[in-house]
A and B are shown apart, each in its own frame.
Chain A
Amino acid sequence: MIPGSFDYHRPKSVQEALALLGKLGDDSRLLAGGHSLIPAMKLRLATPGNLIDLAGIADLKGIRADGNDVVIGAMTTQHDLMASELLANKIPIMRETSAQIADPQVRYVGTLGGNVSGGDPANDMPALMLCLNASFHVSGKGGERKLAARGFYQGLYTTAMQSGDMLTAVRIPAPPAGHGYAYEKLKRKIGDFATAAAAVVLTMKGGKVESCAIGLTNVADTPLFAEEAAKILTGSVLDAATVKRAVAAAEAITSPAEDARGPAAYRTKMAGVMLTRALARAKSRAAG
């Protein structure tokens, strides 16, 4: 499997990368870990004339605290996310999710930026970004701007990023200490994309849900933010009847494709099952 021909560029800075992107236009693609793009190029589903490799830009790597937020460089790998003590302490659902992505070799190379910016609904991090209310630092022709993850995913492979834009970092507000969390993913085998998956972050107070956010993976053209379901759960003790109503509300916003992972109705049901399990596990981990 030989990809089409292209010219290779390896800029040393974000400015240099943006200048190349501006000059080469739509005949160019940014190369991060390459584990979505290179397979697509081998199948000639993508045939860019130029690749702009971001691996040489040190500024795009690393994980740091900024007040209550954690800021993660776009080129930070899944392996780095799993190894980060800062994330393990502040946003442990990141490690739990990374650990369920692909396999060790892919995680050494695959990046957070590549995972969240391609608009592929099968990726795991986008639903988590919705759940955590992350925002994306994007640089482009008009300088740098911050885009909220909620609203970023517009359609299949379509995001709020414009031609000439580049994701530089992901900013995530750390959930309150004592929060509960879970990422539940159904997959046929290691390395597979989700049949359906659910991300839950919640806080409890006096045995009741004080706040709750839910993201769903691979059950629509975009990752889903299940706002109505979370609203139903807030204030409840997560009793079976309320959970059932919330799960029904979450299932109602799905519209999965029928594929080798199963018929659409099955995948919708599995999204509900993943959400039910994620809620139970998040509750068991939450203080209060």
Chain B
Amino acid sequence: MAKSHVTMKINGKTVEALVEPRTLLIHLLRDQLSLTGPHIGCETSHCGACTVDLDGKSVKSCTMFAVQADGADIVTIEGIANPDGTLHALQEGFRQMHGLQCGFCTPGMITRAYRLLQENKNPTEEEIRYGISGNLCRCTGYQNIVKAIQYAAAKLNGVAFQEAAE
């Protein structure tokens, strides 16, 4: 089977690669391009640890062939921070609100929330939980993940974050 030449924009940089058609996008990112931020959790489309942002959509990069992403504009966790190197509001939120325990699901959670907050600038708790329902946290730390996303939404909207009473 002939290899295919693909070109895509990843985190603002144009990247070219030769891939077998059967190469999954996550394997191109991690094994060929050394972008090991997106994780392989289940490899069966369930856990969302491999989530990347592709042409304005959150996708599970374990369930897409690299050839399908030819020409796409991709953002991975490596491209989320602000251009000046400071943390993105989401990264800051996960840090401030203790939104991670083991950290394995975090790149997928943040990348998914990155798209969610662009589609819905001020989501309710219920909308956040529904919006991240394709991402699993085996530490079951959802409570603080939700808070981290609320923190980021508030920061991006320029308002003070107020933690809901428990």
- Give the B-binding residues of A (Cβ under 8 A): 1-8, 10, 31, 34-35, 38-39, 41-42, 51, 53, 55, 79, 102-106, 108-109, 190-191
- A1-B24 Cα distance, complex, nearest whole Å: 9
The 0/1 profile, CB within 8 Å of A marked 1, for residues 125-146 of chain B is: 0000011111000000000000
Q: By CB atoms of chain B within 10 A, which of A2, A10, A105 has the most?
A: A105
A105 touches B59 (CB 8 A): yes
B30-58: which have CB < 8 Å to A?
43-46, 48, 51, 57-58
Indicate if the CB atoms of A39 and B133 lie closer than 8 Å.
no
Interface centre among B2, B4, B44, B60, by most chain A C-beta atoms within 10 angstroms, is B60
> At the interface, yes or no: B21 with Cβ under 8 Å from chain A?
yes
CA distance A246 to B63 in the complex (A): 41
B60 to chain A: closest residue by CB: A105
CA distance A9 to B108 in the complex (A): 30
Q: Identify which of B64-72, B89-97, B158-166 touches chain A.
A: B64-72
* Selected A-B contacts with CB under 8 Å, 30 pairs: A3-B22, A5-B1, A6-B21, A7-B1, A7-B2, A7-B21, A8-B67, A10-B70, A34-B65, A35-B45, A35-B63, A39-B44, A39-B45, A42-B44, A53-B67, A55-B68, A102-B134, A103-B48, A104-B58, A104-B112, A104-B116, A104-B130, A104-B133, A105-B58, A105-B112, A106-B63, A108-B57, A108-B59, A109-B64, A190-B134
Residue B20 interfacial (CB < 8 Å):
yes
A102 to B20, CA, bound (A): 28
Give residues in B with beta carbon < 8 Å to A: 1-2, 4, 20-22, 24, 43-46, 48, 51, 57-60, 63-65, 67-68, 70, 112, 116, 130-134
Chain A residue with Cβ nearest B66: A8
Residues of B with C-beta under 8 A to A31:
68
Contact A2 B134 (CB under 8 A): no
Residues of A within 8 A of B24 (CB): 2-3
Contact residues in B for A42 (Cβ distance below 8 Å): 43-44
Specify the chain B residue showing the minimal Cβ separation from A190. Answer: B133
Q: How far is the CA of A51 from the CA of B1 in the complex (A)?
A: 12
Complex Cα spacing A4 to B1, Å = 11
How far is A83 from B89 in the complex, measured between Cα atoms in Å?
27
Query: Which of the listed residues A41, A51, A103 has the most CB atoms from chain B within 10 Å of its own CB?
Result: A103
Neighbouring B residues of A2 by C-beta, 8 Å = 22, 24
Contacts of A79 in B (CB 8 A): 57
- In the complex with contacts A34-B64, A38-B63, A53-B68, A106-B45 CB distance below 8 A: yes
Question: Which residues of chain A are within 8 angstroms of B70 by Cβ–Cβ distance?
Answer: 10
Q: What are the 6 A-B residue pairs with the smallest beta carbon separation, nearest first?
A: A103-B134, A8-B21, A108-B57, A190-B133, A105-B134, A5-B1
CA distance A191 to B47 in the complex (A): 10
Partner of B46, one of A1, A3, A6, A191: A191
Q: Say yes or no: B134 contacts A4, CB within 8 Å.
A: no
Does A109 lie within 8 Å of B4, measured CB to CB? no
- Contact A6-B22, Cβ < 8 Å, known A103-B48, A104-B133, A105-B134: yes
Asked whether A5 and B58 contact (CB < 8 A) given A55-B68, A191-B133, the answer is no
